[in-house]
Amino acid sequence: MTEAMAVYGMAFAKLAIGLLAIILQINLMGKGNLAPTSALDQLQNYVLGGIIGGIIYNDQIGILQFMLVLILWTILVMTLKFLKGNLRFFKTILDGHPVIVIEKGHILTDECMRYGIQAAELKLKLRVAGVQYVTDVKRAVLEQNGQLNIVQFGEDNIRFDLIDDGQINQFTLDVIEKDREWLEQEVQAQGYSIKDVYIAEYNGGKVVIYPYERKNVAINIQRKETSESQRFN
């Protein structure tokens, strides 16, 4: 009886530590794993669940060893998220990139087959988006999270950002047939650099910038000082 209580007590302690680890990861790394939008978010959930579930009933792994595994996994995930947020190369490796599967009413079957999209699945995604015929689709893009982003003929908006987290989205530039030099000039014309930009959208032929707050404050102060200087002169 005493031995059984010790086993269940150990399992309960591990479960409590595991729950605390999940809460800690959510608070440290954001709410992304509550509604995963990337492969890394999904992987984080799967592996963390596997670690907790696999170790709870393993008597050979003590609480200290369990905590060490959780700490190492948390450090690894935080490192990967940091690299993904600062290096485009790692972001592409971890999350992949959007893939065009329909272009001007024509299905790119090679791309569909490469990414395992069956015909029935593609048609289902189109119907869910309210599209009945492929010929009505100007462009359909498979997102990193598996969702299909559809632009129909007559729609001019680009549903992808030019810049995310201070990193240029080359895919969007290719879609609008622009280059990096053009984007850098547009951003500099508004008083920013690429790394200052949290999100940049392409709307109505113009680049709309949403900078990091600290940089936005600095730019506004600089503009105010310039305006006051010109007024006194």
pLDDT per residue, tens digit, the chain (233 aa), is: 576 676 667 777 877 888 888 788 777 776 666 666 667 777 777 787 788 777 777 777 778 888 888 888 888 888 888 887 777 777 777 777 788 898 888 999 998 888 888 999 999 988 888 888 898 888 888 887 778 888 887 665 566 788 888 888 887 887 777 888 889 988 998 888 888 898 988 887 788 889 887 655 455 555 555 555 555 45
Asked whether 126 and 132 are in contact (CB, 8 A), the reply is yes
Per the DSSP assignment, residues forming a β-bridge with 210 are 199
pTM of the model: 0.56
Domains delineated in the chain: 2-93 (no CATH), 98-152 (3.30.240.20), 163-232 (3.30.240.20)
The identity of residue 166, as a single letter, is G
Distance CA 148, CA 110 (A): 17
Angle in degrees, CA 85, 177, 202, rounded to 5:
55
pLDDT computed for residue 106 by the predictor? 92
